[in-house]
Structure 1
């Protein structure tokens, strides 16, 4: 991408914002090097990895990316035999530890079955290096100090140091606590000069303590003296310190050599950690600006829903829908200054650059953008004092360069095309430039003031006018983009609102041609029509929401009704069964008593009579109807429109009207139509099977009959035949009322149908439909 275009569209400011979301220096370095790609497959992968990182942030809130350092120079110096400082070794261990913490973090995520394909690929490139980390951590502290545990020799030397320091301090403390000390010492303290313990002695008493003078105060009145009595002890301390330093150097060289042995693995770890930090920086930035993953295409199609300029605060920016590359490839935007034309250009340009750089864009889900081979922009005041170029000349230099390279894979953004010169010549030049770029197949958005370009979109296919809306009442732009509506001049309306005399305005109107007035009136009409259409769309959306809510409520009530009905039937049957069982027990007792009486008194009661009495009693018991639960068994039957099915959750039969999605059908059950999942349907009979069954048998009560018969388009004889058959079916279904649709037409069909119905023995009365039922085009039939 051209660096000038990136600066013009302010992509560098996006990168500056992105830097703050990186956790490490190497992550910030990756973010600072970010550039858009022209490779479609690469852009797709970048977007997918950003989306995976966004998913992790949504699930976990954050990612443990602390403790990562740029250890590349440390590893390379160790590889060639250099000695690393304790601080550098600590950074190496910290970076290894950060990689292992990340590994555990993503292992836990994978156990939760979150699919992070790309991130897992990066994680596979991390080397654990646990042994090296432990070796360094055992010797180097978190603040970069060499620990006593680094070696036994170092521990012993430091123990000697502490012991000797205690001896020196005890000796000096006895001196500063002596009776003469307050008179000879400037202060009763022990201090250090040149790594040796000393005491502050007044100038006139320096000979009392002897020893070595290491320093004096700025006034010269105090000398810092190492008394002769502790000189040898200080010498011993210094000797131990030298040995300690030698041992520390030996330890650092040994640890550096261990780091050098793993230089390649460490460099690979840095590369992976930098990439992960960069990916999660992109995801964090997307979360901050409430961005979404765009759909990508390779054919120049752009669809941005409620797109916002990412550098303008959300509470100020006005979101806009922007379409390009499908029905039209060129947009010409007209409208007043400060109306938002330039912001619209920068929004689409910046969103495209962000998408091609793997960043999510500030637009709603479902937005789509193309991967362009090149993006060109001529935006802003290009006046150059150094090159002695006017605004027009500077724009033309830029445009000439664009025309040298633009092709069908380009997105071109022109701001105020042709401005800065004679209006007539500028408009002609703008039209010619647009024709040239359009002819090469590029996607173009241009802004202009010239009224001649308002008609440009009407004369050419693939070109459409647009404008930024201006509120004449408030004298403010609304910053809303109106695609398909050219901008119109508001000078007269604004002048009138500001109090200019009507006679002056009318005189001004007289100087404008009739064609111009006609175009302005047409644009005003278009704007009003658009506003009305928008209001109607919002009203329709509200009605749709209300209807969907009502539909869901009715479905719920119907389901509850059938469940309650089945429960009551089961309860009643159960109660009846209990009563019968009790009666059977009592009858059994009576029969037992009768047998006993026959045996005792030789009563003439025959056994077969007792058996028959018991059998009649058992047959009298009502059978309890069990409600069939929705079957979990699936069928291989492929459903077709017209099939008779059973809706398991309602235990009702109906027929399929049409398939509304992969797993849902619209089903007619009596007077209700509703969407039902395919898993909730049980096949009863196909449409052909139903016809055969009708010829052979009488339809039962479960046969579905529509509540209306549509005769429109039928011949008279065929219509009467259908009416006769339909009335019979409706009577069998026990419907109290049905409707016959015959239309208005000439009235012959309506008259014939009504004559037949009047003479039918089962018809109670007939009437025309109400206005809401279809009026005189419908006859409502009521049965006896």
Structure 2
């Protein structure tokens, strides 16, 4: 089988189909597609038929983000806020696709596949109440976090008032207040050090400027540092909750990701078929083999731009003569003869590919 697939350039055809996938997982699934026969062929046809009907009714599926699948495969699960955001995006994609398919009254094969997707609407809402779209933890994540952030804002306002007052009292300062060691202070010329009661936090490279924390700022800076520590502690607790929640759903989400990849792969098949102006045919039964105006996807001039984009070379750009053949039941062997470059190999490869693609 491997030699036959190579001779028929099966992998190049799969590359054309995979170019219509929206996700990396869907693309990989297309590229690893093996020809289906027997019950597998009927299921593949049923999924493709149902997908074509869905696309005609509702348009393409909202397959936007499956990057979180690789994160779920990592054993440690110590995800950063940005990585957690990717996992939330995966959950959102699962839920959006599930709802989109169910709303379209899917056919039996597609309906059976989508039934494997879990209802994650509640979990998605829980995640979105904790992380915003940029990966920042929301005040609504916990009452303790909201209270700590309010305390910090109140302290900042008090500090601002004290800083403004001190600035008016120290016109000799080298500049406005600044931060050193996460503490508010003023740049003071070393020659004016005796005029400011406070702690020296730092000095310029030349030593000409000292960064002094006036005594009136010490308690406020301490309180602000304590508030920020409380915020960091609560934020880390919330991130821990999110990590634990995703760890507990790891297998469920990985399975859902495989369903999304399958949906993406079959959507890519249908989109490629539409682009190629192809027909979706059920697997044949009986002993009659009939091909009507078949076109080889690697030679069809209409697909030259796609081949150039995906394969790096357009190949044939001239109109091709479609292949039409019919083998009645009593015919077991057909001999094709003719001059060189007369289309014998093209006809054989076209028939072979059609058998694989059905």
Looking at structure 1, the residues matched to 193 and 295 of structure 2 have their Cα atoms a distance apart, in angstroms, of 80
Kept in 2, the 8 Å contact 1:308–1:318? The answer is: yes
Partner of 2:323: 321
Kept in 2, the 8 Å contact 1:36–1:354? The answer is: yes
Q: Does 1:280 align with 2:271?
A: no
Shift of 1:205: 7.4
Q: Give runs of aligned pairs for residues 448-527 of structure 1, distance below 5 A.
A: none
Shift of 1:349: 3.4
Q: TM-score, normalised by structure 1?
A: 0.38
- Aligned pair in 2 of structure 1 residues 75, 144: CA closer, same or farther (>3 Å)? farther
Q: Does 1:134 align with 2:125?
A: yes
Deviations 1:531-556 (A, max 9, x none): xxxxxxxxxxxxxxxxxxxxxxxxxx
User: Partner of 1:335: helix, strand, or coil?
Assistant: coil
Shift of 1:136: 1.6
Partner of 1:15: 14
- Aligned pair in 2 of structure 1 residues 149, 301: CA closer, same or farther (>3 Å)? same
User: Partner of 1:332: helix, strand, or coil?
Assistant: coil
Q: Give runs of aligned pairs for residues 322-361 of structure 1, distance below 5 A.
A: 322-323=324-325, 325-326=327-328, 327=331, 329-337=333-341, 342-355=345-358
User: Partner of 2:336: helix, strand, or coil?
Assistant: strand
Partner of 2:50: 52
Structure 1 unaligned blocks of 5 or more = 356-784
Q: Give runs of aligned pairs for residues 601-612 of structure 1, distance below 5 A.
A: none
Cα RMSD (Å) of the superposition? 3.6
Deviations 1:570-593 (A, max 9, x none): xxxxxxxxxxxxxxxxxxxxxxxx
Shift of 1:317: 3.7
- Aligned pair in 2 of structure 1 residues 171, 7: CA closer, same or farther (>3 Å)? farther
Kept in 1, the 8 Å contact 2:188–2:212? The answer is: no
Structure 2 unaligned blocks of 5 or more = 303-316
Kept in 2, the 8 Å contact 1:75–1:260? The answer is: no
Shift of 1:47: 1.8
Partner of 2:242: 255
Shift of 1:151: 0.7
Instruction: State how many pairs are aligned.
Output: 336
Q: Give runs of aligned pairs for residues 101-116 of structure 1, distance below 5 A.
A: 101-110=96-105, 116=107
Shift of 1:27: 2.1
Q: Does 1:307 align with 2:294?
A: yes
Looking at structure 1, the residues matched to 67 and 98 of structure 2 have their Cα atoms a distance apart, in angstroms, of 17
Deviations 1:24-82 (A, max 9, x none): 33323322322223x322112112211211121122232233344443643875xx8x4
Shift of 1:118: 0.2
Q: Which structure has the higher relative contact order (CA within 8 Å, separation 6+)?
A: 2
Deviations 1:121-152 (A, max 9, x none): 01221211333222222112122221111111
Looking at structure 1, the residues matched to 276 and 210 of structure 2 have their Cα atoms a distance apart, in angstroms, of 66
Partner of 2:305: none
Q: TM-score, normalised by structure 2?
A: 0.77
Q: Indicate which of 213, 216, 222 corresponds to 2:202.
A: 213
Partner of 1:180: 172
User: Partner of 1:292: helix, strand, or coil?
Assistant: coil
Partner of 2:93: 98
Looking at structure 2, the residues matched to 245 and 61 of structure 1 have their Cα atoms a distance apart, in angstroms, of 45
Looking at structure 1, the residues matched to 143 and 208 of structure 2 have their Cα atoms a distance apart, in angstroms, of 40
Partner of 1:227: 212
Partner of 2:114: 123
Q: Which protein shows a greater Rg?
A: 1
Partner of 2:310: none
- Aligned pair in 2 of structure 1 residues 152, 56: CA closer, same or farther (>3 Å)? same
Shift of 1:105: 2.6
Kept in 2, the 8 Å contact 1:96–1:128? The answer is: no
Shift of 1:325: 4.5
Flag the structure with higher helix content. 2
Shift of 1:153: 0.9
- Aligned pair in 2 of structure 1 residues 196, 320: CA closer, same or farther (>3 Å)? farther
Looking at structure 2, the residues matched to 228 and 51 of structure 1 have their Cα atoms a distance apart, in angstroms, of 73
Partner of 1:625: none
